[in-house]
Amino acid sequence: MSEPSSSWCNPMAVSTLGSGNLRDALKLPPGEDKNEWLAVNIIDLVNQVRMVFGVLCESECTDSKCPSMTAHGRQYTWTSEGTLLNTSAPQYIDLSLTACQNNVDDENVFPSEIGKQFPTDFEERCQAIMRRLFRIYAHVYFAHVNHFKAIKALAHLNTSFKQFVLFANQFQLLNKEETEPLREIIENLISFS
């Protein structure tokens, strides 16, 4: 098996949808509550990943093709009640997205009633969701970039990841060590904005 094409590292190949002012659209608006802004954006990011992976990539990422959740220089394992599980990539991603969705649907974490307060550890919850979403991007960029080119959706993948990175940087929701597998593409995406 050959190493996946490395053309995604080429700056000229990092195409996006020409989403000007995406950075501005992610900044905290004047007078806005920070947690409320985190909440509405996190939900958007979860939905974007579900569309990018769940609709565009699910037929491509299978147990046989991706027997483990791999990224550049990483292999992720799922921890369930203290036990490490060796899952395939689709299983890992399904568990991960389900966990994210359960958080988003939890009225005690993402309250939807007017007047209800966010939990005191809300920012940590957001960071956990961002870590899970990042790993999905890391796997997709590692294993499925050619598929996105084939279905003419590479610009869409890049744009949704760019939104993800800009938002994470804006509010310090990911640490540098976690994002190492995609450092080069992140640098290229950000420098182009």
Partner 1 sequence: MGEIAPEMEISQYTKDKASCTRISIESYYSKRVTQCAERENRLKKLEEDISARGLSDEEKEEKRKIHHSKETDYLRLKRTRLTVNDFESLKVIGRGAFGEVRLVQKHDTGHIYAMKILRKSEMVEKEQTAHVRAERDILSEADCDWVVKMYYSFQDYSNLYLVMEFLPGGDMMTLLIKKDTLTEEATQFYIAEAALAIQFIHSLGFIHRDIKPDNLLLDARGHVKLSDFGLCTGLKKFHRTDHYRNWPSTLPPDFISKPFESKRKAETWKRNRRAYAYSTVGTPDYIAPEVFQPNGYTKSCDWWSLGVIMYEMLIGYPPFCSELPQETYRKVINWQQTLVFPSDVPISIEAKATIKRFCCEAERRLGNHGGLDEIKQCPFVKRIDWNHIRERPPPIRVTVKSIDDTSNFDDFPDEDLTWPTSTLIRPEEQPGRRGEFVDFTYKRFDGLTQKMRYSDLKKFQQAKKNKKGGQQGTSD
Residues making up the annotated binding site for Zn(2+) are 61, 66, 139, 144
Binding mask 163-182 for partner 1 (x = CB under 8 A): x-------------------
Interaction of residue 106 with partner 1, rule CB under 8 A:
no
- Residue indicated by tokens 């490490």: 84
Residue ranges of the binding site: 61, 66, 139, 144
Interaction of residue 193 with partner 1, rule CB under 8 A:
no
- Residue indicated by tokens 């949704």: 160
Interaction of residue 21 with partner 1, rule CB under 8 A:
yes
- Residue indicated by tokens 């292999």: 75
Interaction of residue 39 with partner 1, rule CB under 8 A:
yes
Contact 84, 5 (CB under 8 A): no
**Count of alpha carbons within 13 Å of 16, Cβ hemisphere only?**
20
Cα separation of 31 and 69, whole Å?
A: 41
Interaction of residue 103 with partner 1, rule CB under 8 A:
no
Tally of CB atoms within 10 A around 30:
5
Task: State which residue, 85 or 150, has the beta carbon closest to partner 1.
Answer: 150
Minimum Å distance from CB 50 to partner 1? 4
Cα separation of 7 and 141, whole Å?
A: 11
- How buried is residue 95: exposed, middle or buried, by Cβ count under 10 Å (0-12/13-18/19+)? middle
Interaction of residue 67 with partner 1, rule CB under 8 A:
no
**Count of alpha carbons within 13 Å of 79, Cβ hemisphere only?**
3
By rule CB under 8 A, what count of residues binds partner 1? 51
Interaction of residue 72 with partner 1, rule CB under 8 A:
no
Near partner 1 by CB under 8 A, which window of 40-48, 74-82, 133-141, 179-187?
Answer: 40-48
Interaction of residue 150 with partner 1, rule CB under 8 A:
yes
Contact 117, 110 (CB under 8 A): no
Q: Which residue ranges make up the site for partner 1 (CB under 8 A)?
A: 2, 5-7, 17, 19-22, 24-25, 29-33, 36-37, 39-40, 43-44, 47-48, 50-56, 58-59, 97, 105, 110-115, 146-147, 150-153, 156, 159-160, 163
